[in-house]
Structure 1
Amino acid sequence: MSDTKTAYSAASKHYIKDVVPKSPTEQERYRKAKEREAKYNDDWGRLSVNLNDIIQQFAPGSTGKKKGYKYKYVGKDYIVLADMIAGYLRIVDRRTSQFVKLDGTPGDDPETHFKILKRKDMRS
């Protein structure tokens, strides 16, 4: 299995350390994202996922690309959007443009946010 977590983590660190401090727009985006994270983190944390496993399941073989403050993985049927500020991801069904749960079915907002596990919390 490919290790997509390494590239995502490096991009996230670069964005927060090098991009945010240089741009008022990115500072505001960062502030708002951290507010959302503080508000919803308990809900998102109940649905923690291994980024490598999610990419393998929903966008196998894809290489993530940085897009703004998201890291985007495009698969045949799904797109995985990983937030580099708050450390969560969402999965988009490419046919319906709806966010989906881990079983690929459409879900409501809380059901479709998944906290990305830190490497130390990932199973080997």
Structure 2
Amino acid sequence: MSETIKYFDGVSFNLNDKTMTIENGTNGTFDYRRIKRALVLNEKAKFKGSQPPFTQLLPHGPGIPAILTDPYVYVGVKIVMDDETILCVYTSKEETQTGTDQYIEDRKRAKEIEAFFRKIIHKYQPSEA
């Protein structure tokens, strides 16, 4: 069974059914063949859950003025489906600050998920890759 299910922190993929189950983010089961785009982003912590996912972003990188006033974020992967529906997988279990060890670890896990999404996109929507 482990060969047919691929697990990541916050999301698992059933390779037989071609579905993904999101446990941390937009909870539910979705057909992963419909993924159009995926991108690692930082969502401002105070907006998580109060708006559609990843509407309030904090850019990644040094020298960000917003970090001085509102430094807390959740790291995750924004997923755009072929019908333009927005889904998300959060790799942050709790709010974090850019540059911290926790942030670096959350971002690393998000990049692993994003890479897996890119393989899926390349396979099922090659013109979008």
Q: Normalising by the residue count of structure 1, what TM-score does the alignment of the two structures yield?
A: 0.24
- The structure number with the bigger radius of gyration is 2
Whose strand proportion is higher, 1 or 2? Answer: 2
Whose helix proportion is higher, 1 or 2? Answer: 1
Q: Normalising by the residue count of structure 2, what TM-score does the alignment of the two structures yield?
A: 0.23
